Amino acid sequence: MSIKQRLELFIEMVDELTERKLLKKGLKSSLTISSHKDKGWKIEISWPDEDDLRSYLTSFRHFISKSSPVFLNRIYKLCIKHVKDSKVKQMLERNRKYWLGIHQQGAMGLSYQGKNVTPKFVVDLFIKGEYFHIEGEEREFLKGLPDTFDKLFKQQFIDFLLLANKHIFFLDSVIKKVVNENLLIDDSVNT
């Protein structure tokens, strides 16, 4: 597959993602933790509809799967290596660093059993243990979480999806510019 074909496939997959009901409604979540003297802690969470989330994840997982031709890390690297506009390259490099950073630290710091829980760990748990596989240590781990922690883990998962979408749509807009303005050094190179 040539670089141009891979980038065009990325655009196509983003278009598919935006057609999912979840994104049309708006991927939203909220988490409120409150404390009351008489009642103790209270956690209120609002997540997307579960069926809509599952449907969305069938398209989304292509962007985070290492074996996918539109794996976000690979697309970032290809663009950085093969785009001839230095300003676009710098912007891509900066955003790729941010993208890699959100795998290690989410909007909410989370620690469980004395260990830092990264968004990457949580995403792997939910992708492998709940949404696309029904066996394995990830599923057992999720099933063993205390009630409060299963909610916090799920919130961190949803937060990662929100941030990942921003990177997907950012990269989509850059790729459209690169393709439309012929900013590739050589678009026929196979990847």
pLDDT digits (tens, 9 = 90+) for 4-33: 999 999 999 999 999 999 988 888 777 777
Q: Which range has highest mean pLDDT (29-43, 82-96, 137-151)?
A: 82-96
The whole-model pTM stands at 0.88
Evaluate whether residue 189 is within a structural domain. no
What is the pLDDT, as a whole number, of residue 171? 97
Evaluate whether residue 141 is within a structural domain. yes
Q: Where are the alpha helices (DSSP H) in the chain?
A: 3-18, 21-25, 50-64, 72-82, 86-101, 119-126, 137-143, 147-180
Q: Which domain holds residue 113?
A: 3-180
Evaluate whether residue 191 is within a structural domain. no
Evaluate whether residue 185 is within a structural domain. no
Amino acid at 134: I
Q: Which of 187 and 11 is assigned the larger pLDDT?
A: 11
Give SS3 for 158: helix
Evaluate whether residue 190 is within a structural domain. no
Evaluate whether residue 8 is within a structural domain. yes
What is the pLDDT, as a whole number, of residue 109? 83
Give me the number of domains the chain comprises.
Answer: 1
From CA 17, how far away is CA 165, in angstroms rounded?
Answer: 9
Mean pLDDT over residues 134-160, rounded? 89
Evaluate whether residue 88 is within a structural domain. yes
- Residue 40 pLDDT exceeds 80: no
What is the pLDDT, as a whole number, of residue 25? 86
pLDDT over 90 percentage in the chain: 66
The average confidence (pLDDT) of the chain is 90
What is the pLDDT, as a whole number, of residue 133? 80
Evaluate whether residue 103 is within a structural domain. yes
Instruction: Place 72 in a pLDDT band, splitting at 50, 70 and 90.
Output: very high
Low-confidence winner among 54-63, 146-155, 163-172 (lowest mean pLDDT)? 146-155
Give SS3 for 35: strand
Q: Which of 190 and 57 is assigned the larger pLDDT?
A: 57
Rounded to 5 degrees, φ, ψ at 2 are -75, 165
